[in-house]
């Protein structure tokens, strides 16, 4: 079996950790530099803000919740149908969710799905080291 890889050099480097994500209010705080013959833009930590999407912080928060849901489903080796029965939604919605489509899913609804999958969801409010705080999901 052969695979094809893109010969295009990456133009964005993200420093986001897989188990913990952070985002900051406001626009992109990215920095540009050259690496070899490629221009590289360092991510602000929120790819959605870097792309200029509205509500980037909320989109990242929901994406991180979906990642946690997907990891639980994978670790428990649940089919989409079995996961749908546990969380109380139909299988096509589970499929859409696992494909990254969060339309129709509020952050609250995603947190309720996590609780139905046997997880506690804890929200803590902490004093920020910066003048503007951040939202973070730690799984």
* CB 60, CB 21: distance < 8 Å: yes
* Per-residue pLDDT reduced to its tens digit, 20-41: 434 444 444 456 677 777 888 8
Percent of the chain at pLDDT above 70?
Answer: 77
- Residues 6+ positions from 113 with CB-CB distance below 8 Å: 69, 87, 89
The pLDDT assigned to 75 comes to 97
Token pair listed for 64 = 């991180």
Domain ranges for the chain: 12-124
Does domain 12-124 sit in CATH 3.20.20.140? no
**DSSP-assigned letter for residue 138:** E
Average pLDDT, the chain: 80
Q: Is the pLDDT of residue 134 over 90?
A: no
Using the structure block, give the residue that is written with the tokens 């986001």.
Answer: 16
């Amino acid at each position: 079996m052969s695979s094809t890889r893109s010969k295009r050099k990456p133009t964005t480097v993200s420093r986001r950790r897989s188990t913990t994500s952070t985002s900051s209010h406001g626009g992109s705080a990215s920095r540009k530099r050259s690496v070899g013959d490629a221009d590289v833009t360092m991510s602000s930590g929120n790819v959605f803000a870097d792309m200029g999407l509205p509500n980037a912080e909320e989109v990242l928060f929901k994406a991180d919740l979906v990642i946690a849901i997907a990891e639980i489903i994978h670790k428990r080796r649940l089919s989409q149908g079995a996961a749908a029965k546990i969380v109380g939604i139909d299988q096509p919605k589970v499929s859409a969710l696992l494909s990254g489509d969060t339309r129709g899913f509020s952050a609250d609804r995603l947190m309720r799905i996590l609780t139905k999958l046997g997880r506690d969801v804890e929200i803590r409010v902490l004093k920020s080291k910066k003048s503007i705080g951040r939202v973070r999901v730690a799984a």
